[in-house]
Amino acid sequence: MQTLLLPKKWNAAASQISSAITHKWQFSDSERIKCNFDGAWDEKGSVGGFGIVVRNSEGGFMAAKAIKEEGVRSTLHAEAADARAVMLFLRKWGTERVQVAGDALLVTSAIQNAGAALSGHYGQLFEDTRQLLQGFKQWKVTFGRRETNKVVHRLARFSLTIDHSVFWFEEPNF
């Protein structure tokens, strides 16, 4: 009796049983307020858009902000400038403990690691951001996938279309 070997299907569709990975916004710890941020860039107009959402440690909405800034040269520039804008916005809350999360790994890493910061204009933005963070008693900068906060991503894209900064201090309808 001879065994018949069938050719392996290398391009076969993935099994229907595969589990979907879901990324969700996670609560902050230690009674910190948490701020998610995202930057967007329109290269045609050299315009950056910043989205900021602030929540309390239980996940309750506190505030949101959409900012448009002229003279932005890249997506990295938008993300770095947004991180600095977040610190200026958070200072107004008068809180001692903050957690800041962004979806640009290079930006969050540069803020966390003072000795490994980029040089030039972006390096100065990271240094300013770190200096502003020193005004808080406790702070934490983390990386989070875009899927963990789609609202802030939508705010960043929306901010490219506005003429002036927009603030929300109630629960917005997104």
Average pLDDT, the chain: 81
Q: Edge-to-edge, what's the strand order for the sheet holding 61-70?
A: 138-143, 97-102, 33-42, 47-55, 61-70, 166-168
pLDDT of residue 25: 43
Phi, psi at 103, each rounded to 5°: -100, 10
Has residue 10 got a pLDDT over 90? no
Q: What is the pLDDT of residues 35-77, one digit of tens each?
A: 999 999 998 989 999 999 999 888 889 999 999 999 999 999 9
pTM: 0.77
Distance of alpha carbon 156 from alpha carbon 79, whole angstroms: 10
Q: What is the pLDDT of residues 154-163, one digit of tens each?
A: 999 999 999 9
Q: What is the pLDDT of residues 67-95, one digit of tens each?
A: 999 999 999 999 999 999 999 999 887 88
Domains in the chain, CATH or no CATH each = 36-168 (3.30.420.10)
